[in-house]
């Protein structure tokens, strides 16, 4: 059994039931895949959807799946914006 962060009682139960352990791992991977279903933003519709998702995740805690998703989405949006809405030096606000 891989060494994962589970309470000792859960590890002892899973140690004797490898089928159940494999089901738990598969379910966790599926959940993670659904939460982190992210890809490059390729068009305006995907850009708008990403902005809505960012707004929804703004209060996510750090070091959580939602917080990680927020961080990745922000990076994807920044890349899309820099490629599609470039700012010239005269457009930037001086502080």
Total domain count, the chain: 2
Q: Are residues 61 and 93 in the same domain?
A: yes
In 3D space, the residue among 59, 66, 37 whose CA is nearest the CA of residue 49 turns out to be 37
Q: Are residues 20 and 8 in the same domain?
A: yes
Per run of 10 residues, the mean pLDDT along the chain (length 95 residues) is 53 54 53 65 95 93 85 91 81 61
Q: Are residues 78 and 95 in the same domain?
A: yes
Q: Model pTM?
A: 0.58
The C-alpha R_g of the chain, in whole angstroms, comes to 20
Q: Are residues 28 and 42 in the same domain?
A: no
pLDDT attached to residue 77: 93
What domain range includes position 62?
38-95
Q: Are residues 49 and 95 in the same domain?
A: yes
């Amino acid at each position: 059994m891989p060494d994962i962060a589970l309470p000792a009682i859960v590890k002892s139960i899973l140690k004797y039931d490898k089928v159940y352990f494999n089901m738990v791992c598969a379910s966790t991977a599926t959940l993670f895949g659904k939460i982190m279903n992210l890809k490059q933003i390729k068009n305006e519709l995907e850009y708008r959807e990403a902005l809505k998702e960012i707004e929804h995740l703004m209060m996510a805690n750090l070091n959580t799946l939602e917080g990680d998703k927020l961080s990745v989405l922000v990076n994807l949006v920044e890349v899309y914006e820099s490629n599609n809405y470039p700012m010239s030096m005269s457009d930037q606000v001086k502080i």
